[in-house]
Structure 1
Amino acid sequence: MQLPYELAHASHWELRKNNWNDNNVEEKVKESWARGVQWELTRMVHNGYTPSYFGNYTGVVQDLIDGKAGYDQVENYTIKEIEDVLSRTSTWNDWRINLINNYNNATEENLDAIFNRW
């Protein structure tokens, strides 16, 4: 299950064109993206798979996609939409703002709550 996670880090690093270290991207953004890709790819083979979430390894990507009602009330973002804003996302707050500014999603009014939750 670790391979999708590491592939996500590699693709994110390439997407940022090496502008990755030296505090250019918050750890929480890096780790949450990788954990989200791990969830997305692994569940294609293992239905119902959910990785553990703790600290900077959040479930924000899963919550943006999953369409499950509950505490987050956010759904229907695609993995591609989430990835596309990462090239200009350095902070947790930037990620939320970039999603709002770049996509029309019926549940975007709940993005503050989901990003605050994680």
Structure 2
Amino acid sequence: MRHGERIRRARLKAKMEQGELARRIGISQAFLSRIETGKRGCSSEILERAARALGVGLEELCSPGDDPVRESLEEILRDPEVQVYLRRLRGNGDRGRLEELKCRVREAILGLDLDARKPSDGEI
């Protein structure tokens, strides 16, 4: 996911209008719009100001290459079979098992040597 997409997600999560975020970080709304849509990149300074204005850590706005664990977890959670299983756990009100599953998935991902071995198309 690109920086702009991450900024947009964090802004929407914070229930902040695009114009308000632009004002807080000192850029025009049009420029922020181009960043969020991926038409323009942003400097590390703008990224830092956006993180402060949104009340999030800079790591939340970093590119996927900076956090392979997070990217792998997001990919796993997008899997339709995993989504069905998670919905069942939520539907049963089994929060403890859901949290345990999240911890186990994260531990499994951390145990992988992500740089040494990339799965082929037929794996997983």
Task: Note whether the superposition's TM-score is higher than 0.5.
Answer: no
TM-score, with length taken from structure 1: 0.29
Question: Which protein shows a greater Rg?
Answer: 2
TM-score, with length taken from structure 2: 0.28
